[in-house]
Structure 1
Amino acid sequence: MLKAIRSISCLCAAMLAACASPPAMGNPVVQAPVGEVTGRAEGDLSVFKGIPYAEAPVGDMRWKPPEALERLPEGFDAADFGPSCIQRVSENTIYSWDIKEMSEDCLSLNIWAPEDAENAPVFVWIYGGALVSGTSAAPLYDGAELAKRGIVVVSINYRVGILGYLAHPELSAESADGISGNYGLQDQIEALRWVERNIGAFGGDAGNVTIAGESAGALSVMYLLASPEARGLFDKAIAQSAYMISTPELSRAAHGWPAAEDAGTAIGATLGAPSIAEMRVLDAHDITGRAIDAGYGPWGAVDGKFLTAQLVDTFTAGEQAPVPLMAGFNTGEIRSLRYLLPQPAADAEDYETRIRAAYGDLAEEFLRLYPSSDIEESMLATTRDALYGWTSERLARSQSLLGHDAYLYLWDHGYPEADSIGLHAFHAAELPYVFGTMGRAPRLWPKPERSAAEARLTRAVGDYWASFARTGVPVSEDQPDWLPYRRGTAFMVFEDEPRMVARLFPGMFELHEASVCRRKMAGDILWGWNTGLASPVIPPAGRGCQ
């Protein structure tokens, strides 16, 4: 009798548990090459979160390439985002996220797909964060609204900071290729390989993949365009606020950078862990934070395999991936990144004197573009253009020369809360419009107003981005035709509404192209944010540079 009572009690408990949980039968189940995956139905979408795409080396295996994940655990439940990669979380900027869980074992991806998707275009999002932070779980990057336009949206995690980009002679000695660093980039490539193998099961077309990212995500897009190891894994690219700065080389000092291996040795000594074995036993959070405090900057490294040359050289030689491209930047990039600015000049005379001393025969053109009449605005524009404006046009020109259409934009849209605090069209301001995630930005982000005009602009931007992912041509109904870039012409400007402009900032590209070319040819000068009042002396024209 007691046994029967226990059996009845267990049956009742099971029935109650079933009633308290959402029925499993309503959830999408996918049989993928990597295994069975159960997602969640959200309206007309199937959503899968936190799918591991690779084994992340941790602990005493830290700083190894990602290992391809051949098989998921049986009946994998993709209900929640996976942990974010280890990073320091800042709490006092407009870009600060509340990251609930972090781990070294963080290599996962998320998928938003129309429930009836079949051979749909695939849009792979790579987050920004200066290669030191970021997470695919950020609500700002929710892929639902883009997926509702008939595309499959994928977002990925990749290693950041010292855990993602450390180069070191001991690590190079461990490698069969004799290289180290670029682990975060290798993660991105492995994620794209996973997409190639598996996305068809989720309704995506592995032959129609667009990679996209903003800021460090756009830097990553350029790395992927340049990397021979990523060739053939994507078909189009979107680079929002990319910056084609000089890049460390693995084993020799060049272009103002120490060798990446030497930088790794130096940070180990600073942390009191001169060997890789000692660095591997340090707590992941501890080594990440202490490296930041010590000024260690994670960058891709020219290693001969994943990156074979300086980005500017790869794109000059036309050796990047030959795919259609969308690229652009924001008028107020530096308004939210003022730490990139140099110390201002004392007055107009001091400003002009210092610019002439640094820029020589380029100084008059520099002062025409960035006059002393408003030093602060000129400084903001100088750093913006040297980092983001020149890069965007450089990308458009390079892809056009390969015979592929490139579409260039300028984001100049403002709204009251941002404009009132001096953040008109700030860095990343376009993201809520791209993803349709108004109201889901970080806590301190200036809140866009809710209005018919804002909704109309959001709809147009999402349409342009999704259309480009679908066909390589950005189109939005009842909006201007977005004409492809043709050497200095055809920019889409996003103000309160989109509009086409024939030519933007005449002379801007040519000035910064000459500056970068001369610095590069000198061989020992950085190019990037050290511009304007922070510029070294620019060498004179010669050896192929104007």
Structure 2
Amino acid sequence: MRRKQFNQLLHKSFILIISLYSVTSEAKSKMDTSLDSAKVTSTLQIEQGLIRGVLTDRNPDINVFKGIPYAAPPVGKLRWKAPQPAKGWQGIREMNAFGDICEQVNPWDKNSDKMSEDCLYLNIWTPAKNKDEKLPVMFWIHGGGFTRGSGNLSNGCALAERGVVLVSINYRLGPLGFFAHPLLSEETEKNISGNYGLLDMISALQWVQKNIEQFGGDPDNVTIFGESAGGAAVYILCSSDLTHGLFHKAIAQSPWVTDASISPLTKPAYDRESVQATGIRFAEKLVSDGISSMDTLRSIDVSNLVKQSKGFRLPAAIDGFVMKDNPANIFEKGQQQSRPMLVGTNTDEGTMFLYGADKQSVDQYKAGAQQVFRGYAEDIMKMYPVDSKSDIKGAVCQTINDIWFAQPTRWMARYMSKKNKNTYLYHFAHPSMRWPAGGSAHAAELVFVFRSLDPQKQTEAYKKLSTAMITYWTQFAKTGNPNSKDLPNWPRYTERSDRNIRLDIEITVESHYLKKNLDELDSIYKKIGKYVY
């Protein structure tokens, strides 16, 4: 049995009957819903034409440019096509309003975000006073299970204030970004389809290379960072041949790496169908009497198209082009480009994804484990024992935490550290500021990285930890090393030392975080001979 098949089995937890719509109770409220000042900045010349942004009222030294098109609107005949260059314009274009977010089911902020298929826009916060400053660039990729979310951060100031140019993007999601079908594949020379959302990210990175100097940014010092599905995107982009030269460092926060986020395009993975097979079923739901060309599907109203996709999981596809292989294979073989990398997870990643699993009986729990883990169920049950119903919630939370997040994250750190000594692992342990009952839940670190908590709720302890994390993140973007003389030393990660930094009110260094659990998972993987996700 291939290990990727086992990973498929392992990750398809018996609590995943309900589809995962990842990230974030933390991200559900906008980073800051207040509007920026209408005071305009100076005019800049980019590839498409002249633009003018606004000064932020939170910090008059930060200029923000909202809603810059980095590619042509992917509508009409461009639906399910690789992103095309954005058209130019005459005169000065005012960049004072965010672009639309991608059409999606149940957006987190229904009041402030306008949804559209025309969503390929980015935003830039810059402290630069002129284009010659060569500031480090941080490129944010939002999470949301590749089905929801937005890059429209109302407050990018906290990072920009530390001397970096911050770029955030919107990209195609759900059926607009990851739908694959044989008829779509026939339209391309490479006979592949899907991954349009990933191609959008690559297109935005190419735009940055061409234009970021105008904002005082350094195209030779770009750090990509993302959380959850955004962290998985960081993993994918680090393993892709298409990204050579487009970025130079990477930060993956709680990367969500399962068969539900990455699967083969045309081959089934254990008991999961291929991405293309899922696409065929989705197309049949949309047009029950069959289709002879994509024109029929391209004519469907985008809102209806997205609503009909509910219940279908369309992962990023291992297509031989964007992803030549599973990223874990590529990392293990050392085929990824050497880049400084900073990765980590939170203590209680699993609390957000229970979906009522704690209401099962012990017998139901054990039966579910047997169904999902099959020949390895006994090993898993020894690792996460359940003797009474009261044990179920903790066991399921820890299983999700370890299998979906901690184990693949340690894998990333382990194999990048063999190529680049500037590899760093963290464990975020502070309870969620917005959902304390969830513990240090999935996405709990976001309000600290962006300092986006309501100012009225910002305690001194919160400010101290947020300042530390922003310093670590931006210092890493500047130098490839997160350390600063004013903060506890963050040791480099190596497989032998297995050290990480623990981020909480008190910042400390840990050794062998979750080692017993993760080593046990590794030993199970060794039984089938491959380390493949």
- Normalised TM-score (structure 1): 0.82
Distance in 2 (alpha carbons) for counterparts of 1:34 and 1:70: 6
SS across alignment from 1:67: coil
Identify the match of residue 177 of structure 1 among 142, 167, 190: 190
Is the 2:70–2:122 contact (alpha carbons within 8 Å) kept by the matching residues of 1? yes
State the partner residue of 1:154.
167
| 1:483 and 2:491 correspond | yes
Aligned runs of 1:74-85 on 2, under 5 Å? 74-85=91-102
What RMSD in Å do the two structures reach over aligned CA positions?
Answer: 2.6
Aligned to 1:453: 461
Residues 208-287 of structure 1: matches in 2 within 5 Å?
Answer: 208-246=221-259, 247-272=262-287, 274-275=290-291, 276-287=294-305
Paired with 1:545 and 1:308, the residues of 2 have a C-alpha distance of 17
Partner of 2:336: 320
Shift in Å, 1:147: 0.2
- Cα pair distance change 1:217/1:417, threshold 3 Å: closer
Alignment-derived partner of residue 307 in structure 1:
323
Alignment partner of 1:28: what SS?
Answer: strand
Deviations 1:37-59 (A, max 9, x none): 11112210111010000013212
1:205 CA displacement:
0.3
Asked if residue 37 in structure 1 is aligned to residue 51 in structure 2, the reply is yes
Letter in 1 for 2:494: R
Equivalent in 509, 514, 517 of residue 505 of structure 1: 514
Kindly indicate whether structure 1 or structure 2 has the higher relative contact order, using CA contacts under 8 Å at least 6 residues apart: 2
1:115-514 aligned within 5 A? 115-116=128-129, 118-139=133-154, 142-246=155-259, 247-272=262-287, 274-275=290-291, 276-292=294-310, 295-339=311-355, 342=357, 346-347=361-362, 358=373, 363=378, 367-368=382-383, 372=387, 374-414=391-431, 418-419=435-436, 422-439=437-454, 449-487=457-495, 489-514=498-523
Question: Displacement, 1:418?
Answer: 2.9
Contact 1:107/1:156 (CA < 8 Å) preserved in 2? yes
Amino acid across the alignment from 1:461: M
Q: CA deviation at 1:257?
A: 2.8
SS at match of 2:66: strand
Aligned pairs, how many? Answer: 482
Q: 1:512 offset after TM fit, Å?
A: 2.5
Please state whether the residue corresponding to 2:447 is helix, strand or coil: helix
Q: Which string of whole-angstrom CA distances, capped at 9 and with x for unpartnered residues, describes residues 277-323 of structure 1?
A: 2211111011101111xx21121111111111112212211122310
**C-alpha contact (below 8 Å) 2:329/2:531 kept by paired residues:** no
Contact 2:414 2:494 in 1 (8 A): yes
Structure 2 equivalent of residue 66 of structure 1: 83
d(CA) in 2 for partners of 1:490 and 1:383?
Answer: 22
- The whole-number CA distance in structure 1 between the counterparts of 2:222 and 2:53 is 22
Distance 1:350 1:180, change over 3 A: closer
* DSSP-derived class of the 2:264 partner: coil
Q: How does 1:6-25 map to 2 (within 5 A)?
A: none
Residue 354 of structure 1 and its aligned partner are, at CA, apart by 7.3
Q: In 2, distance between residues paired with 1:67 and 1:212?
A: 24
CA distance in 2 between counterparts of 1:428 and 1:480 reads 23
Match status 1:27 vs 2:41: yes
Distance 2:99 2:193 in 1: 26
Q: In structure 2, do the counterparts of structure 1 residues 72 and 240 end up closer, same or farther at CA, with 3 Å as the change threshold?
A: farther
Q: Aligned in 2, Cα 1:466/1:84: closer, same or farther, shift over 3 Å? A: same
Preserved contact between residue 421 and residue 492 of structure 2 (Cα < 8 Å) = no
The residue type equivalent to 2:241 in the other structure is P
Counterpart residue identity of residue 325, structure 2:
A
Does structure 2 conserve the Cα–Cα contact (< 8 Å) formed by 1:323 and 1:404?
Answer: no
| Secondary structure of the structure 1 residue equivalent to 2:487 | coil
Offset from partner CA, 1:120-152 (integer Å, 9 cap, x none): 00000001011111111243xx21110000000
Q: Please report the TM-score for the alignment, with normalisation by the length of structure 2.
A: 0.84
Q: Deviations over 1:413-467 (max 9, x none)?
A: 0267633xx2111111110100111128xxxxxxx94211111111111111111
Q: How high is the sequence identity, in percent, across the aligned residues?
A: 33
Give the counterpart letter for 1:285 in structure 2: S
Residue 458 to residue 170, structure 1, CA distance change in 2 (3 Å): same
CA distance in 1, matches of 2:337, 2:111: 36
Q: Deviations over 1:181-213 (max 9, x none)?
A: 000000000000000000011100000000000
Task: Tell me the distance in 1 between the aligned counterparts of 2:380 and 2:314.
Answer: 34
Which runs of 5 or more structure 2 residues have no equivalent in the other structure?
1-36
Cα 1:371–1:165 shift into 2, 3 Å? same
CA 1:213–1:73: 2 relative to 1, 3 Å: farther
State the shift of 1:477 in Å. Answer: 4.6
Determine if contact 2:231/2:254 at 8 Å carries over to the other structure.
Answer: yes
Tell whether the 8 Å contact from 1:352 to 1:367 is kept in structure 2 after alignment: no
